[in-house]
Structure 1
Amino acid sequence: MVHELVRPRKARPGDRLAVLSPSFAAAGAYPEIHEQAMRRLADLTGLLPVEYPTTRQVGASAAARAADINAAFADPQVRGILAVIGGDDQITVIPHLDADLARADPKPFLGTSDNTNLHHWLWGLGIASFYGGSSQVHLGPGPAVDDVHVRSLRAALLTGERLEITDPGESEDIGVDWADPQALKSFGEREPTEPWSWYGPARAVTGRTWGGCLEVIQWILTAGRFPFPPEVLQGGVLLIETSEELLPAREVGWIIRSLGERGLLSAVDAILVARPPVSDHTRRPPAADRARLREQQRDTVVDVVTRYNPEAVVCVGVPFGHTRPQWILPHGGPVTVDGAERRIFADYR
C-alpha cells in the first residue's frame, strides 16, 4: 500500500516561523527561558519567530490551542511551525484541527514528545514533518545551543541537506530547573555516552520514518488515530523513544509487543531506538544504576523486536528523544540505517 507524503518547501531567512504551545505552555510558565530561546532561534536561522494567543497561555483550552495551529497553517507568510515543548493532552487538540488548511499549504512542523500526536495527524494527511525541536528544552536553557541540534534545525527549516547522524559524545537526562536563574547559562549534569548498540543483519536500509514517543503512540493507536494497515509502513524506519515519565523496561516491552501484534514491527526494515532518560529532578540513581536501567530497556526492546522481525536492522542509543543533545530527524522523510557500516544518514529535503 502506497501512502504518498508531501515534503513541505523550506523557509528562507526573513520568513515568519510560528512558535506554538500545542500542549503545555512552558513559554508562559518560564518566560525567561522562552525569550532566550526566541533570540537564539532568530540568530541561528534568520527567521522571525511569531507567537500566538496561547503560546504563553498556561491552561488554554484544546480548542484555543488548535485555533492557533489552524491560524499558522492559514497564514501564507508563515513558512514553518515549531512547538515550544510537549505535554500530555495534545490528543484532545487533534479533533479541532482543520485538515484542509494543512493540505492547502503544507509547512515544516517541528516538535517532540506529546507532539507525536501532530506528527501522526500530518502523516495521515500525507504531510512529512520533523521529529524533534523543543525551544524550551534545546534552545533556551544553557550557555549555548548544541551543535547537532543547530545543524539539524537548520537542515529541517532552511537547507534540506543530507546529514550523518552521529554521537555527540555526551548526554544529559534533565537540565537545570527552569525556575532557577542558573538554567539560562548552565547545562544539566552531562555524562559520557556509550557506543550505540547494533542488531540484525549487516545491510543498509533506506526508508521513510514513522514513530515518535512510545507512550504517545500507544495513546494514538488506542484512540483509533492511525487508520492504516501495517503495510503502509512497509520498508520504512520506525523511530522509538521514551519520555521523562521513566517507564520501567517491562512496560516499554509491553507497548513494543503491542506494536508487534498490530503488525507494525514486521512491516518496517529498520528501527532506531533513542537513548532513554533514566533520571529526573527528583530521581537520580547512581551512574552504575543509570547505565543498568538503559541496558534493561535496550535488551527488552531488542528481545521483543527480534521476536517479531529478526531481519530488521536495529540501532539503540541514538539521541533524538528526551535527552540532550538532540538530533531532529525526518518524520515521513528518508533515513538510511546502515547495519554494515554502522552509520545513519538523514535526508532533510
Structure 2
Amino acid sequence: MPAVFTTPPPLDAGGRVAVVAPSRPIDESQLDRACARLRDVFSLDPVVFESARRDWEWLRDNPAARAEDVMQAFEDPSIRGVIAATGGDDQLRVLPHLDPARLTASPTRFFGFSDNDNLRLFLWTHGVVSYGATLHPTLTVDPELHPYVERYLRRAFFERSIGVVEPAPEWTDDWFDFDTEAPREWRDNPGRTWRGDERVTGRLWGGNFSVVKWHLQTGRYLPDPDDLDGAVLALETSEDVPLPREVRYTLRAMGERGLLERFDGLVVGRPRTHAPGLEWEPPADYGAQLRAAVLSVLDAYNPDATAVFDLEFGHADPTVPLPLGARATLNPAVGRLRID
C-alpha cells in the first residue's frame, strides 16, 4: 500500500465545507435542508460549488468540470472539508480528469459514499483517507438527524479518528418519503455476526460493491496487489440489492486473481433488502443468503480471514462514515471494531 497515508486534518467549528456534485445533483429542497443541518447541528459553513447547482444533463456531459470542482475545493486553503451531494452510477467517468498531484498537495477531508467510492478509491491509491457520508441521504432523511448518525459524523468532522464503532440500537431500510415526511419504521438491531477468532488490524479498502466490481473490471485504478497485503476489505451492497450469487461470483474472481487472500479481514455493511424500482423481490432472509455467499468464498480462498457482518455503513440506516484508508481493528473475542 502507499508508503504513507495521510488523514486530512479535522474541521473546526465554523469551518468552511465545500459542497460538490462529482456524481449526481440533488433537489434544491434537499440541498437546502442538508446545508441547514451542516450549519445548525455542526456549526459548519457550507460553500456550494457550481457543480452542486447544475442539473443532471449538464453533469452527465461534463465529467471534467465535476473533477475540476473537486480539485479546486481541495486547493482552496479556506476549505477544510469537501462533501458530495449524493451518489449515482457514473463517477468512473470523472476519474480520468483528476490530477492526483492537485489532490495530494493539500489533503482535505472528503466525504462521500456509494458512487463516490470511485473517488475514494482513487484517493486511497494516492494515500489519502476519506469518509463515507453525503449530503443526501446522510443529512436529509428523517424529520430530525438520527442521534447515532450525528455522533459519528461529529467524530468524522472534528476528531482524528472514528474510534470504537458501537452497534446502533435500531436500524431501517425503509425509503424516506419527502412528500409526507412520515416517520420510518425502525427495527431492533439483531446484532453482528463474526467469523474467525484472530484479532487483525489493517487499512480499509473497498466500499460499495458495484464500484469495487467496476474497478476490478476496468483495472485502471486498482492499487498494486502488494499494497493490499494485510488490508481489510469493506463491502456494502447499496440499493441495487444484488443477487447473493453475483456477490459470490465477484469475490470468487478476486480469489482467482490472488487478491482476496491478501486481506486479513473483511467488514460487510448491513444490506438494504428493498428499494423502489427493483427488478426482483429479495427474500426475507436476504441478509443471511448474502452472508452465506460471502462466507463460502472466504472458506475457499481466505479461510484464516476475520470477518464481521451487519455493520452500520452503506445504504441501510443509521450509518457510520466509514473512512477508507484508516486502520480498522477487528477483535472477535470481544466483538469490537475500532477505526483509527
What TM-score does the superposition give when structure 2 sets the normalisation length? 0.93
2:9 maps to which residue? 9
2:318 maps to which residue? 325
Q: Displacement, 1:129?
A: 1.1
1:24 maps to which residue? 24
Matched, 1:250 2:245: yes
**In structure 2, what residue type is equivalent to 1:292?**
D
Match of 1:194 among 183, 190, 193: 190
Q: Give me the whole-angstrom Cα distance separating, in 2, the residues matched to 1:261 and 1:284.
A: 30
Structure-2 change in CA distance of 1:37 and 1:227 (3 Å): closer
1:280 maps to which residue? 275
1:106 maps to which residue? 107
Q: Once the two structures are superposed, what CA deviation does each residue of 1:203-230 show, in whole Å capped at 9, x if it has no partner?
A: 2112111110111111112222334332
Matched, 1:203 2:198: yes
CA contact (8 A) 2:156 2:162 kept: no
Matched, 1:265 2:266: no
Q: Displacement, 1:191?
A: 2.4
Q: Give me the whole-angstrom Cα distance separating, in 1, the residues matched to 2:51 and 2:329.
A: 37
Q: Displacement, 1:335?
A: 1.2
Q: Aligned with 2:338: secondary structure?
A: strand
2:336 maps to which residue? 343
Q: Aligned with 1:154: secondary structure?
A: helix
CA contact (8 A) 1:20 1:55 kept: yes
Task: Report sequence identity in percent.
Answer: 36
Aligned residues: 336
Matched, 1:67 2:60: no
Q: Give me the whole-angstrom Cα distance separating, in 2, the residues matched to 1:327 and 1:238.
A: 16
Q: How does 1:270-309 map to 2 (within 5 A)?
A: 270-282=265-277, 290-309=283-302
Structure 2 spans left out of the alignment, 5+ residues:
none
Matched, 1:43 2:36: no
Structure 1 spans left out of the alignment, 5+ residues:
none
Q: Displacement, 1:257?
A: 1.2
Q: Give me the whole-angstrom Cα distance separating, in 2, the residues matched to 1:19 and 1:311.
A: 42
Which portions of structure 1, spanning 4 or more consecutive aligned residues, are displaced by more than 4 angstroms? 282-286
CA contact (8 A) 1:80 1:108 kept: yes
What TM-score does the superposition give when structure 1 sets the normalisation length? 0.91
Structure-2 change in CA distance of 1:227 and 1:37 (3 Å): closer
Q: Displacement, 1:177?
A: 3.3
Structure-2 change in CA distance of 1:112 and 1:220 (3 Å): same
Q: Once the two structures are superposed, what CA deviation does each residue of 1:212-270 show, in whole Å capped at 9, x if it has no partner?
A: 01111111122223343322112221101112111111111111112222222211111
Q: Displacement, 1:161?
A: 4.0
- Once the two structures are overlaid, the 10-residue window that deviates more, 301-310 or 145-154, is 145-154
Matched, 1:133 2:133: yes
CA contact (8 A) 2:2 2:125 kept: no
Q: Once the two structures are superposed, what CA deviation does each residue of 1:276-297 show, in whole Å capped at 9, x if it has no partner?
A: 11101356999xx754111111
**In structure 2, what residue type is equivalent to 1:223?**
T
**In structure 1, what residue type is equivalent to 2:337?**
I
Matched, 1:163 2:158: no
CA contact (8 A) 1:141 1:187 kept: no
